[in-house]
């Protein structure tokens, strides 16, 4: 039986997209194990259907100085002889790539829901020294993801445009697998004009909605985007983000 390990950088409690993926995998005739973050009110080991859940990760794993923790976990994981590793996030890609270097026959799947190498940095409240440090850390992490990307066999992402970019970026031979960046398909019986009514946007005008967790000022990514559409007629930009973002 095929042994598959999914490595997830959260608790699975709120990641509905991962829940949908795992519920599908759980129906297949495979030996499925999920490794994910610890949660105070959830057991460290759990069985859901055919899926074994092992909550082993903590916040220290996702720190810049976590290299040794990741490498130690990768070494232990390599001893379990999984056939397939499905890794979410660039930190866990490092784990998967390390295992594949030790066990070259391992199939490595990288699920990237964004372009990590194009993430913006929040420079708004950083001193000059901390800005330099942040840039150095980001450059190192980008380099590490690119190096680990050489081990990727299959890529999962959320749309064709990201798929095309990442295929070239990692030089992946297999076509990227596209899954929509939503938890499930939902029937929409009629158009919803909530945003148009709220912001008094005429029906004849076009609306671009940006939804993102982090929206920072003083980042080229967002400011270039706003500048690019600022002069367009009959076009409105709505940004939806966290309440505490400024």
Answer positive or negative: Cα dihedral of 117, 118, 122, 127: positive
Query: What's the distance, Cα to Cα, between the start and end of the chain in Å?
Result: 51
pLDDT tens, 49-85?
A: 999 999 999 888 888 777 889 999 999 999 999 999 9
Task: Give the pLDDT score at 138.
Answer: 86
Answer positive or negative: Cα dihedral of 62, 63, 69, 74: positive
**Helices 89-102 and 67-78, axial angle in degrees (round to 10):** 50
pLDDT tens, 175-194?
A: 999 987 666 667 778 888 88
pLDDT tens, 122-148?
A: 666 678 888 888 888 889 999 999 999
Q: Which of 95-104, 115-124, 218-227, 231-240 shows the lowest per-residue confidence on average (mean pLDDT)?
A: 218-227
Q: What is the three-class DSSP state of 172? A: coil
DSSP designation for 142: H
Task: Give the pLDDT score at 246.
Answer: 43
Q: Which residues pair with 211 in a beta bridge?
A: 240
**Helices 89-102 and 128-148, axial angle in degrees (round to 10):** 40
CA 52 to chain centre: 22
Contact 30/107 with Cβ under 8 angstroms? no
Q: Is the pTM of this model over 0.85?
A: no
Fold of 3-178: Rossmann fold (3.40.50)
């Amino acid at each position: 039986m095929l042994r598959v390990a999914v490595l997830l950088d959260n608790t699975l409690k709120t990641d509905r997209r991962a829940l949908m993926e795992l519920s599908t995998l759980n129906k297949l005739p495979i030996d499925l194990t999920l490794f994910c973050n610890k949660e105070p009110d959830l057991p460290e080991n759990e069985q859901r259907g055919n899926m074994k859940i092992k909550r082993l990760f903590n916040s220290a794993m996702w720190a810049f100085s976590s290299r040794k923790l990741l490498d130690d976990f990768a070494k232990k994981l390599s001893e379990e002889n999984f056939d397939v590793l499905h890794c979410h996030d660039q930190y866990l890609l490092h784990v998967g790539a390390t295992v594949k270097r030790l066990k070259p026959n391992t199939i490595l799947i990288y699920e990237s829901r964004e372009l990590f190498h194009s993430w913006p940095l929040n420079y708004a409240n950083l001193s000059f020294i901390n800005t330099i440090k942040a840039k150095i850390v980001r450059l190192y992490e980008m380099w590490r993801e690119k190096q680990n990307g050489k081990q990727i066999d299959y890529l999962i992402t959320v749309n064709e445009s990201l798929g095309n970019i990442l295929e070239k970026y990692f030089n992946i031979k297999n076509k990227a697998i596209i899954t929509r960046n939503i938890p499930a398909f939902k029937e929409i019986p009629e158009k919803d004009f909530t945003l148009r009514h709220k912001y008094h946007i005429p029906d004849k005008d076009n609306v671009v909605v940006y939804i993102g967790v982090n929206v920072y000022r003083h980042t080229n990514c967002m400011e270039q985007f706003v500048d690019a559409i600022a002069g367009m007629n009959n076009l409105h930009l709505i940004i939806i983000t966290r309440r505490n973002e400024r």
